[in-house]
Each structure stands twice: as structure tokens, then as C-alpha cells.
Structure 1
Amino acid sequence: MSEEYLPGKAVIVPGNGGGNVELCLWYGWTRKRLEQIPNFTCLLRNMPDPFTAREEIWLPFMESQLKCDNRTIIIGHSSGAAAAMRFAETHKVYAIILVSAYTSDLGDENEKASGYFSRPWQWEKIKSNCLHIIQFGSVDDPFLPWHEQQEVADNLQAELYKYTDRGHFQNTEFNELLSAVKKLIPTVS
């Protein structure tokens, strides 16, 4: 594989909710560890419109500010997973890693306002624009029914890491995610 197609960076797209994402959940922990990989970088930024996470704001930010491209591994959590999937409908990326991904607004007005769920998912376009699709989900997620997480995995033919005890992945460390990213980087053993 030519160097132009090797992953050069990861971008962590957080879930909605606001606050300093560097201090939130596993995001900063993961960024610090990925930054230790030679010739690799990891971006983590406070997103604009952090509470509603509107697609019309987040996707342009991912393109223009985070510079997501065909050498980027997008790690999306919750609303960030929805953003990663919608981004990959229209942009080539090296990989998407989806954590707590879902397919509908779940009857929630804020989720509906985000815009991600206003039209059918373009599963085939997402698959054709990503070299790798990995998904982490847990059947005990208090916010997302398992059938929606499974729908994502089935439609994207994702490499699925299915848990029974991880909830919404709100822990402060995420070793399995770190290992998954490292496997995608050919220069890391």
C-alpha cells in the first residue's frame, strides 16, 4: 500500500454534551496514548454546537478544522459516531471506529434536531468510502437499544466488538479501542 493511503492521524469526535472533551470520559486518555505513536497524530477538539451536535455544523468542522481525509481514522462516540457515518457517506476516510452507534433519533427532540436521522442511511456509500469499519457496542447501553447498534453492524459489515457490561462506554480508559487503532497502523506492532 502506498504511503499516501496509510493512516497519518486519528480524530476523536465526541458525543454531545459539552464541557472540555480533553477531560471527558476516555477521550483525552486515548489521545495521549495515540500521540505517542511515531509519525502519527491524534486530534481532539471541543466541538462547536456541543449540545445539539448539528450535522450542518459538525461535518464542515470535521472537514475544514479537523482535516478528516483518506488518511484519517475517525473515532466517533455516540453523536460522534453518527457524525462519522454521515461524513463517510460523502468523504473517503481510512477508517471509522464507531462507539455506541445508532440509527434513529430514538424519539428524542435533541437527537431529531441534530439532523443525522432525517433521511435514510447510505450504507453502501459509507462502506465504499472506508477501508476499515470497526464498531464497539454494549447490550446494556442505557441510552441505545441493542437492535439499533446491531443494525449499524449488519449494514456496514463492521468488525463488531460486542459487550454485555460496558454501558455507553463512559469509562475513563478504553484499552480495546487503543488496540484496535494500533492494528490499523501498519508501522505499529
Structure 2
Amino acid sequence: MEKKGQVVFIHGGDSYNNDQAFYEHLRIQEYEPHPESYKRWRDWLQVELEAAGYEWLFMAMPNKQNADYEAWKIWFEKVVPFIEVDNDTHVIGYSLGACFLLRYLSENESPFHISKLHLIALALPTDSESIGSFGVDTKIIDRIEARAEVINLYHSKNDTICPYADSEKVAAVISGAKLHTFTDRGHFLQPEFPELLAEIQKIT
């Protein structure tokens, strides 16, 4: 089968301002010996895209329980040799992965051509909520306009982890960015994501 393109996926995680904040998070967490498992839409998406002829490049980022931006930056750039020049390349960031891409592409030129950038359930730093070292300087977010041909944001209004308003703010300053709004998806802990699949496969 002829390859249609490549899809780079960056998952979510947690990040803290300092070790004490991380330790406090652990103290209030309860141990669950038999955690409930659920189907991840990223696994479904991989199957669908590979069947359609896309190469799936999943990046297992370092230490997602207490993530560090610089460590993720180093690891993200490891994918560059595997990106084919002039290919239809999609980059997906979910939750902290979206925060990472938002900061990385605001501060750096993309190391490869991005056809479509997909940012799902992102968050911005605030006085009351921290995303650790992944916080972006909101004054330079508009630089992302030049990093990808198409920019899609996805967020649900009932997301209790990352505020929907954050994606609204980002969409307002990135010219041409499209915000896909949902009302009942929460933090997208769902088995399938057909809307994302459709955007990847859409011919622009």
C-alpha cells in the first residue's frame, strides 16, 4: 500500500513547579490495586490510520508522571530523522502533549514540515493552575501560525482537567486556527475519535 503520510503522536502527563508539589500530589492520591482499564482513542486512531496507509509514530515521552519540558524537547527532536521530506505529516498533541507543542512551536522553528497540527485539550498556565515547565509565554503564541499549514484545536466545554477557555484564547490569537468545540466529551477519555480521524484524512 502506498504511504499516505505520517502521524506523530505525543501523549499527556503531569508536570509540577517543584518536587514538593509532586510529593504533595502523591500524598493525596489513593492507591488502586485494580485500576479500571478503558479503551484509548489513540489506539483506535492508530489502527484506523495504518489501515488507511499512514505511518503512526508514537512518542513515549520521558517520565510522564512528573514531566520536564527540556527532557521532552530533547526526546521530541529524536523523531526528526524518521520524518520523510515533503511528506503529508500530521502532529498530534493531547493534554500535556498539546501544551508541549504549544510551547515548543512558539519558541522554535519546526524541525520538519507540518501539514496539520492537532492540539487536543490544551492548557495555559494561570496563577491558580500550574502545568510546571510546560507553560508557554502567551505573548508569542501567534508564532505558531507559520509552523504548520493547518492548525486544529479540539476541546470540550465540560473538560474538568483543562479549561475550554484556554483553547478559546489560543484560537483567538492564531490566525486561521480552527477550534472544534464539543459539549460532552470531558477530557476525551473515549474509545474513538472519529472527528479527529476525519480532519487528518481531509484533503485541503
TM-score (norm 1): 0.79
Residue identity (%): 25
- Name the amino acid aligned to 2:114: V
**Residues in 1 aligned to 2:126 and 2:12: alpha-carbon distance in whole angstroms:** 14
1:57 to 43, 49, 71: 71
**Residues in 1 aligned to 2:157 and 2:191: alpha-carbon distance in whole angstroms:** 19
Q: CA RMSD in A?
A: 2.5
Q: Secondary structure at the match of 1:122?
A: helix
2:48 to 33, 41, 60: 33
**Residues in 2 aligned to 1:13 and 1:172: alpha-carbon distance in whole angstroms:** 17
User: Counterparts in 2 of 1:12-27, with a 5 A limit?
Assistant: 12-16=9-13, 25-27=40-42
Indicate if the aligned counterparts of 1:68 and 1:74 stay in contact, CA closer than 8 A.
Answer: no
2:199 to 153, 176, 180: 180
**Residues in 2 aligned to 1:68 and 1:85: alpha-carbon distance in whole angstroms:** 22
TM-superposed deviation, 1:27: 1.2
Deviation readout 1:83-102 (Å, 9 max, x if unpaired): 12223232152221011012
Indicate if the aligned counterparts of 2:121 and 2:164 stay in contact, CA closer than 8 A.
Answer: no
The count of aligned residue pairs is 171
TM-superposed deviation, 1:105: 5.3
| Paired position in structure 1 for 2:35 | none
Indicate if the aligned counterparts of 2:124 and 2:136 stay in contact, CA closer than 8 A.
Answer: no
**Residues in 2 aligned to 1:174 and 1:34: alpha-carbon distance in whole angstroms:** 12
Indicate if the aligned counterparts of 2:92 and 2:119 stay in contact, CA closer than 8 A.
Answer: yes
1:8 counterpart = 2:5: yes
TM-superposed deviation, 1:68: 7.6
TM-superposed deviation, 1:82: 1.0
* Structure 2: gaps of 5 or more residues: 15-37
Q: Bigger CA drift: 88-97 or 171-180?
A: 88-97
Bigger Rg, structure 1 or 2? 2
User: Counterparts in 2 of 1:67-86, with a 5 A limit?
Assistant: 67=81, 71=87, 72-86=89-103
Q: Bigger CA drift: 61-70 or 80-89?
A: 61-70
Deviation readout 1:121-172 (Å, 9 max, x if unpaired): 5223211111110011111001122221211111224211101111111111
- Name the amino acid aligned to 1:82: C
- Name the amino acid aligned to 1:171: Q
TM-superposed deviation, 1:108: 4.2
1:146 counterpart = 2:170: no
Say if 1:124 and 1:61 are closer, same or farther in 2 by CA, change over 3 A.
same
* Structure 1: gaps of 5 or more residues: 1-6, 18-22
| Paired position in structure 2 for 1:20 | none
**Residues in 2 aligned to 1:48 and 1:95: alpha-carbon distance in whole angstroms:** 24
**Residues in 2 aligned to 1:57 and 1:180: alpha-carbon distance in whole angstroms:** 30
Q: Secondary structure at the match of 2:134?
A: coil
